Amino acid sequence: MKTIIRSTLGTLGLGLALGVSAGPVEDQAAFQKYYENKFPNTPVMDFQNGVYSILPEAREQWEAIEEFPPYEIAIENGEKLYHSKFANGKSLADCFGPEGAVRGQYPFWDKDRGMVITMERAVNECREANGEKPYGWKKGKIADVTAYMSFNSRGQEIKVDIPSDDPRALAAYEEGKEQFYTKRGQLNFACADCHMLTAGNLYRADTTSPAFGHATSWPVFRSKWQSMGTLHRRFAGCHTNIRANPYKAQGTEYSNLEYFVTYMSNGLEFNGPAARK
Amino acid sequence: MFKGLTVGLVAVAMSMGASAGASNVSSSKLIKEATAAYKQVSKDTGYQWTVSVKALKAAQAAFDKGKYTDAEAHARAAMDLIEATRLQAKIEADTWKMRVPK
Amino acid sequence: MSSIRIKAKERKGSVDVKTLMKHNMETGLRKNKDGSKIPEHWITDVTAESGGKTVFAAAFNTSISKDPYLAFAFAGKKGDTLKISWKDNTGKTDSAETVVK
Amino acid sequence: MDRRSILKAAGTISAAAAALAAFPRAVFAAYSEKAFKNPKVEDSLNELFGGNATTPSGDVKLKAPDIAENGAVVPIEVSTSLKADKIAFMVKENPNPLAIVADIPAGTEAMVKTRVRMGKTTQVTAVVSSNGKLYTASKEVKVTIGGCGG
């Protein structure tokens, strides 16, 4: 009798946990399953190739661009910047090692400071700690340096952690999640509307990419920009498209959104930099 | 949940047409009200629509040129967009949870 | 640093060449923020030499994409030197050399 | 114009002349204003090849997308099994259709890949010059504008 009661309670407890407040682990499983069901022909690891994982015609052109990708110039610039000495004789290599192959460590939750640390932020904080001016957040040198670092980090597994011993980390994740699913702007779109519920549909002339794999390949050379840009540059562009004022690059909103979106892609590999349309 | 927003948007379209007896004083007041509403909604919701900003700027630009009728039309449009933003935020406060896959 | 990146690799007596040239390739149709036209500025000629002879040459219009990409293949072998040069409509030139892998 | 500016202008010219001299091109067709800044395909062909009679040929292979991802960067590839000495590529709806002419010396494969711009949906044509005749392959490339990404 005792055992029956206990197991009933146990089941109830589990039911409550799933129904009322699913945690990040359950969120992630459901998220990834959603895309696997929606695009059964796409091998799971291929989602890291963005819209090209679901569009064969566009993929051919992308592969032709990748034969000699435009971001190679950024990687070379980034390599020079990475190793060039600060006024104090140090360089970024003193912060991130000889090749900067640290992409897999970002973004992470910094318990001491109670905030999400992205790779871009870490680069600029290294510069500031050494008495240098920070780079801009969206394009130019920040994109070149992170292109070099990401290139040297290709193949690193995405394994964003939400430390269970710090409720603020979960709160940041939840904020990012709310941001992803909440409609914004005059056009009344949520990230999830285009990149989840109707991912792969045409919006005028463009097919929207699956959000599973969104955070893997940055920085990106976009043909539309004709230059490199960071993930937060793209976030801002998306918000402007739906006629919502963008948030500040590297502000809490976008950093938490990056935290959520990258966590959703756990298990894929970092494969940036990349070329996109 | 879409209805409220649609009403808001239709109201915007309608308010563009209506405006009579606009003056320096009345349009200045309207622009001030719209700007105050903009700031309040920004504070409450944490975001704004790009079109609201544009409408406010257009209102100020028209006012500066002495085109008070246009200024009032733009200010009213801005006000309606700002209200629609508030409505969107209100609807979304809970609705977003429905989009999370289980 | 040269504006030209070259990848040259031999495969059964044929050298596959891929090259990317950093150049804005201004069409003359784009405008500055103040509305003034950005003058056209583009690479007009590209030449590839190996073993003292020209193995490939091309002339471009402004319709070739920014940072032009070219790929071609010529008879050669590992260890050969390949030199690629470009010239633009303002008379500016650049060149780069690589050894075939 | 004062003396200083005259000297300066002269200096610019001689630098440009030096640059021209340094650029290796003897026997090969160089960029020509008449061929490239020309809205008419026929005129460009005349200028390049001394004639504009073309024959469609299955031996000319043209690889271009059906729908361009981005009109500013459209990857194309032209190749042929014919013995070619020149390959040209035209984008019909561009203000000046001729995009590129490539010289194919003996020993070089009759193949060229590049990326071109096209402003709108257009027919594109590869022209191969072989034994004094012109062979072509054409297809339509759709260029779409607008949307979130484009």
Write out the E strands in chain D. 54-56, 60-63, 67-68, 74-80, 86-91, 98-103, 111-116, 122-130, 133-143
Least reliable range by pLDDT among A84-98, D34-48, D118-132: D34-48
Catalytic: A194?
no
B4: pLDDT strictly greater than 50: no
Separation in Å, CA of D72 to nearest CA in chain A:
7
- Which chains pack against D, by 3+ Cβ pairs within 8 A? A, C
Contact call for A and B: 3+ CB–CB distances under 8 Å: yes
pLDDT number for residue D150: 40
Give the closest residue to C86 by CA, choosing from C32, C58, C47, C38: C47
Percent of chain A with pLDDT over 90: 79
pLDDT (tens digit, 9 = 90+) per residue, D3-55?
344 334 444 444 444 444 445 444 465 788 888 898 999 889 988 888 888 99
Residue B27 has pLDDT above 90, yes or no: no
Mean pLDDT, chain B, integer: 82
Q: Which of C61, C68, C73 sits opposite D36 (nearest CB)?
A: C61
pLDDT of residue D100: 95
Q: Is there contact between C and B if contact means ≥3 C-beta pairs under 8 Å?
A: no
* Residue A21 confidence class, pLDDT cut points 50, 70, 90: low
Of A67, A73, A226, which has the smallest distance from its Cβ to C22's Cβ?
A73
A19: confidence class by pLDDT, cuts 50, 70, 90: very low
Closest CA in chain B for residue A32: B101
- Looking at the domain D38-143, which fold is it? Immunoglobulin-like (2.60.40)
User: A8-22, B52-66, B79-93: lowest mean pLDDT where?
Assistant: A8-22
DSSP E strand boundaries for chain C: 4-11, 14-21, 43-50, 53-60, 69-75, 81-88, 93-99
- Does any CB of chain B come closer than 8 Å to the CB of residue A22? yes
Q: Does residue A138 have a pLDDT over 80?
A: yes
Catalytic annotation, pick one of A95, A126, A191, A238 = A238
> pTM score > 0.90 for this model?
no
The residue that leads in pLDDT, B16 or B69, is: B69
Residue segments in chain C with a per-residue pLDDT below the cut of 70: 1
The domain segmentation of chain A, as residue ranges, is 14-69+163-276, 72-151
* CB proximity D140 to A under 8 Å: no
* Interval D66-101: pLDDT, tens: 989 889 999 999 999 999 999 999 999 999 999 999
Q: How far is B87 from chain A (nearest CA, A)?
A: 11
Per-residue pLDDT band at A205 (split at 50, 70, 90): confident
Cα C90–chain centre separation = 16
Quick check: helix, strand or coil at residue D126? strand
The answer to whether the Cβ–Cβ distance between D150 and A224 falls below 8 Å is yes
User: What average pLDDT does this structure show over B69-78?
Assistant: 92
pLDDT at D20: 46
Residues of chain C positioned with their CB less than 8 A from the CB of A226: 66
pLDDT band at D105 (very low <50, low <70, confident <90, very high): very high
Q: What is the pLDDT of residue A268?
A: 95
The interface predicted TM-score (ipTM) is 0.77
Tell me the DSSP string of D66-92.
SEES-TT-EEEEEEESS--SEEEEEET
When the pLDDT of each residue in chain D is averaged and rounded to a whole number, the result is 81
CB-CB: which of A181, A185, A188 is closest to B100? Answer: A181
User: Would the CB atoms of A182 and B96 count as touching at under 8 Å?
Assistant: yes
pLDDT on residue A13 = 38
Q: What is the mean pLDDT of chain A?
A: 90
Contact B50 A197 (CB under 8 A): no
User: What does R_g of chain C's alpha carbons equal in angstroms?
Assistant: 15
Average pLDDT over residues A82-93: 96
Pick the CATH number of A14-69+163-276 from 3.30.1050.10, 1.10.760.10, 3.10.530.10, 3.90.950.20: 1.10.760.10
Identify all chain D residues contacting C64, using CB atoms and an 8 Å cutoff: 99-100, 114-117
Of D103, D104, D114, the CB nearest to C64: D114
Q: Which of A50-59, A111-120, D5-14 has the highest mean pLDDT?
A: A111-120
Instruction: Tell me the shortest Cα–Cα distance from A69 to chain C, in angstroms.
Output: 8
**Interface with A, mutate which of B10, B54, B57, B99 (most A CBs under 10 A):** B99
CATH of A72-151, one of 1.10.1760.20, 1.10.760.10, 3.40.50.300, 2.40.128.50: 1.10.760.10
Per-residue pLDDT tens over the stretch A230-264? 999 999 999 999 999 999 999 999 999 999 999 99
